[in-house]
Structure 1
Amino acid sequence: MKIKLFPFLTNDLLEASVKGDVITINRETIDLSGIPAGYRLPGSAVGNRFFLDTDYIERVDGVLNFTLLLPVHWDSPEESRNPAEPIIIDIQSGAVPFPDTTPPIAPIVELPTFIEEPENGGFEPA
């Protein structure tokens, strides 16, 4: 399978695995073996929210090609939210290695501690 990823702003999680012509997305099994060479099926026909509705699932040279929505956050790394080149994963079997779209952790900035001195500058009255 060749899976093209389309960044999509959402809080949904995406996990997938592939075995032959079957893809399992978040524990939902989708059998794509019925798509013959030279034919295509609209992504919307699968009924899974991660398939891009406006793209097609097609078999080219024996390999299934389709586009999945890649969950990203507003503060995910730029290369995930707006990749320079389309992200394409070529996989035959196993867990789909999606890119890490986890937003970076903001650095912890420690503020300086100020010690208040008495108004007289530390002098004691005589």
Structure 2
Amino acid sequence: MKIKLFPFLAHWPLEASVSGDVITINGEDIDLSGILDGFRLPGSAVDNKFFVETEYVERIGKTLQFTLRLPVHWDSPEEYRNPAGPIIVDARSGLVKLPNTSPVVVPVTELPYIREGKENGGLEQA
């Protein structure tokens, strides 16, 4: 399966795995084996919120191709919120390796504690 990922601002969890022509999304099995070579159907026909309704689910040769929503946060890494090009995952069997869209954690620098004292203008470092 070739899965194109469409960034979508949402707080949904997304886990997916593939076995043959079945993709399991958050525990829901979606059997796409009925799509024959050269045929396609709109994503809305799949009836799953992760499938992009305006994109097609199609089979080209033996490969199923479709677009899924990739949940991102407002502070997810820029390369996933606004990718320069399409993010495409080639999923063959097992767990689908999705990008980590967790918010970026900025390290916090601790400032030294300063206490009042008589020396050095009344301030000294602890």
Could you say which residue in structure 2 is the equivalent of 1:15?
15
SS at match of 1:3: strand
1:70 aligns with 2:104: no
**How many percent identity over aligned positions?**
65
Could you say which residue in structure 1 is the equivalent of 2:105?
105
Give the Cα separation in 1 of the matches to 2:62 and 2:94: 19
Q: Please, which runs of 5 or more residues in structure 1 have no aligned partner?
A: none
Residue by residue over 1:15-53, the C-alpha shift from the partner in whole angstroms, topping out at 9 and shown as x without a partner, is: 000001000000000000001111111101111000001
> Alignment length, in residue pairs?
121
Could you say which residue in structure 2 is the equivalent of 1:34?
34
Could you say which residue in structure 1 is the equivalent of 2:52?
52
Give the Cα separation in 2 of the matches to 1:6 and 1:110: 38
Query: Which structure: larger Rg?
Result: 1
Give the Cα separation in 2 of the matches to 1:114 and 1:63: 64
Give the Cα separation in 1 of the matches to 2:33 and 2:77: 35
SS at match of 2:116: coil
TM-score scaled by length of structure 1: 0.91
Give the Cα separation in 1 of the matches to 2:5 and 2:100: 12
TM-score scaled by length of structure 2: 0.91
Q: Structure 1 residue 117: deviation in Å? A: 2.0
Give the Cα separation in 1 of the matches to 2:95 and 2:36: 24
Q: Structure 1 residue 106: deviation in Å? A: 2.1
SS at match of 2:64: strand
Q: Please, which runs of 5 or more residues in structure 2 have no aligned partner?
A: none
Aligned partner of 1:5: which letter? L
RMSD: 1.5
Could you say which residue in structure 1 is the equivalent of 2:5?
5
Post-superposition, which runs of at least 4 consecutive aligned residues in structure 1 deviate over 2 A? none
Aligned partner of 1:79: which letter? E
Aligned partner of 2:13: which letter? L
Give the Cα separation in 2 of the matches to 1:86 and 1:36: 25
* Further displaced range: 105-114 or 33-42: 105-114
SS at match of 2:17: strand
Query: Structure 2 matches for 1:69-88, cutoff 5 A?
Result: 69-88=69-88
